[in-house]
Structure 1
Amino acid sequence: MAEKRRGNWGEGELYDALCVLMIGVCGWIIGVQFQVFAAFNAFILAHALSDHLMLGFFMGLAMFAVSLRKSLQLRRAMRERDVTAARAEAIARHDALTGLANRRLFLEAIEAHRAEAGPVPAAAVLLVDLDRFKPVNDLYGHAAGNAVLCAVADRLNALLPPRGVAARLGGDEFAMLVSLDGSDALARLAQAVIASISGPVLWNGNELKVGATVGVALVAREDADAEVVLHAADLAMYQGKKDGRGTFRVFKSAMDVELRARAQLEGALRAAIQSGEIEPFYQPVVSLPGRELIGVEVLARWRHPERGLLAPAQFIPIAEETGLIADLSYRLLRQACLDARDWPAHLQIAVNIAPQQFQDAWLCERILAILTETGLPPHRLEVEITETALVQDLEAARTTLTSLQNLGVRIALDDFGTGYSSLYHLRELKFDKLKIDRRYVDTITMSDERAKLVDAIIKLSASLGLVTTAEGIESDASLDWLAGQGCDFGQGYLFGAPMPKGEMDFLLTRSSEPAEPRKVA
């Protein structure tokens, strides 16, 4: 483009020079035809003006040369300005790392298609969000993350149909704008994108693996603008994430309704945390086989003013995604510590700490502040973490857990057997307890394979000097089997459902009453 512009400027200068020469020639012809020069020469000779005329001629020639030089400099500056402007425009409309179009250029492309759209949509947007990208950055560093982003850009370009546009919208979010050639072709393209991105990226001898979830939205004339189209694709992508990731979803109007409902729930959740509508419920934990009450697990329940009592599955994921989980967890912990002060001194309370909270360098200090404020001894608190927290940042987890154990707080690995933990994690992090997930416990009396797995976990825990708690015990048969295999503790509906403080107080009062003597006949 710059060479073409330089060529245009050269042609313009030649044209200007020819025009000046033509004007001079025309003046000369007119002067010859009308004898103007003869009279002019006679006038000069009669008045002895030849020296002055020569001086004026050379001064004019010098001025012409100066003007020409300035004109050439101005033209050169204008050319450089145009080249710089073009380069700046290209930078402003493309992603610096991957070279793909950026959000601005992509929206302009969508808008152009939308303006030209007929009654039937002729283009579609595929919004591509990477799965498992954060662990790559955390484990290998940003250089590895950049390598993955560049590899994804290359793979999208390789799959891009003619006249399509690929863009990086920001972070780990990409998009494609393609002409519509039937729904089957669109589905095949979305599946090809997912399959291509799922392939490993080789970096410094490591295989970096990410996945992709794709949201698809058609570009229609009735859409208000390009942002509306992109928002629709984002809703479809979010639905794909919700359905299990690594898949694609096409936008439907019901998704917008669902998202609005979710947004309302987020706002209500924020207010509920502040107002205390979310309260701790307590599920008994007993020793095996005697069933003596040794503690409780703290579980959240939301007393929603319109929807009634909501279980954690209905709001905890939202709290984690919106960053509200830390405030919610600390409030529950504070209230549970206050409640536990009135209970027997041997009872422990177990609380769950979300993986996101392990990114907080002040987690240990915050828990200590709550224990100090409420007066609950640290040895009565047990913190439960899931295996996900270990994968996200092992060193941060090690530092936090060690600090808590130094205070006297016990640490339990929750839902063991369902995540990514290994013998390395068990050896390095020095847990006090393993909790066997309810999905194994439910079927131990019906599945020999599950029974063998649970037996292996119990034996592994004992060999490492850890105690075990089995979750989800609902039958005497399961209880007897677990006790026979050496499981230390149990919890589940067989011993009691999660209950508010009032019911827990009643249960403790009743259990502390002396048994009535039997009547002798």
Structure 2
Amino acid sequence: MVETRQTSWGEGELREALCLMMIGVCAWIAGTQLGLFGVFLTFTTFHHLNDLLMLGVCMSFGLMVASVRKSLTLRRVMIARDAARDRAELAARHDALTGLANRRLFKETLDERLSRAEPPTIAVLLIDLDRFKSVNDVYGHAAGDAVLFAAAERMRALNPPGGMTARLGGDEFAVMFDYGSDSDAVPRFTQQLIASLSKPVDWDRSRIEIGATVGIALATANHSDSVSLLHAADVAMYKGKRDGRGTFRFFQEEMGHAIKLRARMEAELRLGIGRGEIEPFYQPVVQLPSRELIGFEVLARWRHPERGLLGPMEFIGLAEETGLIAELSWAVMRKACTDARSWPSHLQLAINISPLQLQDRLLPERILAILTETGFAPGRLEIEITETALVNDLEAARVALKSLQNFGVRIALDDFGTGYSSLYHLRELQFDKLKIDRSYVASIPLGEDRAKLVDAIIALGSSLGLATTAEGIENSSSVDWLADQGCAYGQGFLFGKPVNKETTDGLLALWSDIAGKIVLTDSETAPSDQTGPTAAAA
């Protein structure tokens, strides 16, 4: 193939040269016939060779034009080749979306700087964007690309003198710089970076909330190459994720073991969701002061094949970090709706959804699809959202929740008093119920001042036409006081701890039935779910 192309190129050059020489012959014939060469030839001493001389001049001129044309073509080819090589080199060492250095260039540059620094004072920061997976899931990949580009621009603007910023892949970035004798420069720069990346990104009339968690590794004798430094920074970053995101951590040797345990837990959780190991437990919700059973709150438990029954504190945070929370929630909701079909039709189910799910524009469709699939009436379902879920996108929340309410699903604001809600949120979103956080209910016996806070919340709900539910009730005196203040519903260990479907079925059969109503007494509360108060209450 190569020889054929070279031959074809040579034949093309020869044909081009012959054509130009023939043009020269034509010019000679025209000049001879028209006597155009007479003036020129009078200045030469070769009058007897005038015709042959001009023929040679014309043909030589054609060859000269062919040579010049060939030289220019070769020059253009060489320029194009060099440009293509430069583009290939740039593409091989830079990220196509953001224009930042890629992993290859970052590692090469880092190794080069480590080799010439003695002793090295190089810091490597590994940055992972918080909540990025939900951006792609909720807004689409175009929005994800916009977020990545915006993050890259913010990091490029903060890049320290002589430093390098790179996109390693996905939503993972890295920065390296020489901090010299100023060791405080590393945390100071990192805090500026996190603050910049935590600002919302505008997209299609929405404000996408992200953030960043940063792991930091400093060059040492044990970490003197790019591979070990990046790994150490990665370990520190995951430690920051577990500690709550939006923060940074310096690498410490003992972190490695914890990361391996977390990776194993994530893999087991992913498999557990698929195998149906996450199951719903049910905690009674009663009317006050009559203690008539009106329904259950659904709480997730993981029946781990090796570790036994695990409470939500041990896996819900991991599910949110890894993006498994939606899959987990839908599985629990589907199972709970199926379980409750055989219970008395007046009993309701209250199910919590995560802030990430609330950002999903298909949230109403997903919930209604589960209700249709299981045959569970929308009027028996109550969706609980936390206050922190409202700060991300109020308009998206309004549309989703209103759509659900139009189908008869009730909406409750969970853990009221612990987040960021305001009277504006309560008015705009038109909740059906407020749930008073257990920390306020637990403070009632501690004194009149604490009780006034609960009284104020109940009065606020009443003024807005919202029913109130008190969480964490553990003694009868609290029941009487809450009922006197106008609190409509209550739940807590006094009425029962969360238990599985089989236990709930048995308790429903045992609880007294007065005039068609199930009424709980202190002696008929459910047994412990063996996860302890903290896990059971979550």
Indicate whether 1:123 and 2:125 are aligned: no
Contact 1:191 1:248 in 2 (8 A): no
Match of 2:321 in 1: 321
Q: 2:151 aligns with which of 149, 152, 156?
A: 149
| Aligned counterparts, 1:52-451, within 5 A | 63=63, 66-83=66-83, 85-86=85-86, 89-90=89-90, 93-94=93-94, 100-113=100-113, 122-129=121-128, 149=151, 152-157=154-159, 160-161=160-161, 163-169=162-168, 173-179=172-178, 181=180, 185-195=182-192, 198=195, 212-219=212-219, 226=226, 229-446=229-446, 450-451=450-451
Asked whether the 8 Å contact 1:282–1:296 carries over to 2, the reply is yes
User: Where do 1:464-475 residues align within 5 Å?
Assistant: 464-475=464-475
Residues 372, 99 of structure 1: alpha-carbon distance in 2 compared, 3 angstrom cutoff: closer
Counterpart amino acid of residue 343 in structure 2: W
User: How has the CA–CA distance of structure 1 residues 408 and 211 changed in structure 2, closer, same or farther, with 3 Å as cutoff?
Assistant: closer
Shift of 1:177: 1.4
Structure 1 residue 121: deviation in Å?
5.3
Contact 1:126 1:190 in 2 (8 A): no
Alpha carbons 1:194, 1:213 under 8 Å: kept: no
Which consecutive residues of structure 2, in runs of 5 or more, have no partner in the other structure? 1-47, 520-538
SS at match of 1:392: coil
Match of 1:397, SS state, is: helix
Contact kept? 1:113, 1:219, Cα under 8 Å: no
TM-score (norm 2): 0.72
Matches of 1:279 and 1:132, distance apart in 2: 25
**Cα contact 2:238–2:259 (8 A) shared by 1:** no
Return the alpha-carbon distance in structure 2 between the equivalents of residues 66 and 103 of structure 1: 48
Compared CA separation, residues 171 and 447, structure 1 to 2 (3 A): farther
Q: How much has 1:487 moved relative to structure 2?
A: 1.3
Classify 1:49/1:234 alpha carbon distance in 2 versus 1 (closer, same or farther; 3 Å): same
Given residue 323 of structure 1, which amino acid in structure 2 is its aligned partner?
A: G
Separation in 2 of the partners of 1:372 and 1:331? 15
Q: 1:214 to 1:359 in 2, by over 3 A?
A: closer
Q: Any conservation in 1 of the 2:190–2:248 contact (CA below 8 Å)?
A: no
Question: Could you tell me whether the CA contact under 8 Å between 2:114 and 2:224 is conserved in 1?
Answer: no
Q: Which residue of 1 aligns with 2:500?
A: 500
CA distance in 1, matches of 2:225, 2:291: 64
The one-letter code matched in structure 1 to 2:355 is P
Q: Distance in 1 between matches of 2:281 and 2:199?
A: 46
Instruction: Say whether the 8 Å CA contact 2:127–2:237 is kept in structure 1.
Output: yes
- Give 1:191's aligned amino acid: R
* Amino acid in the other structure paired with 1:357: Q
Distance 1:265 1:242, change over 3 A: closer
Deviation for aligned residue 1:125: 1.0
| Contact 2:415/2:435, CA 8 A, preserved across alignment | yes
Moved more, 438-447 or 428-437: 438-447
* Percent of pairs with identical residues: 59
Change (3 A) 1:237 1:432: same
| Secondary structure class of the residue paired with 1:445 | helix
Q: 1:146 to 1:275 in 2, by over 3 A?
A: closer
Quote how far apart the aligned CAs of 1:298 are: 0.9
Question: Structure 1 residues 149 and 320 mapped into 2: Cα distance closer, same or farther (>3 Å)?
Answer: closer
CA distance in 1, matches of 2:330, 2:97: 40
Q: CA RMSD in A?
A: 4.0
1:206-257 Cα distance to aligned partner (Å, 9 max, x none): x999764321124568779745533432331222233234432122343333
In 2, are the aligned partners of 1:353 and 1:385 still within 8 Å (CA)? yes
Deviates more, 1:406-415 or 1:84-93: 84-93
Instruction: Quote the Cα distance in structure 2 between the aligned partners of 1:251 and 1:391.
Output: 32
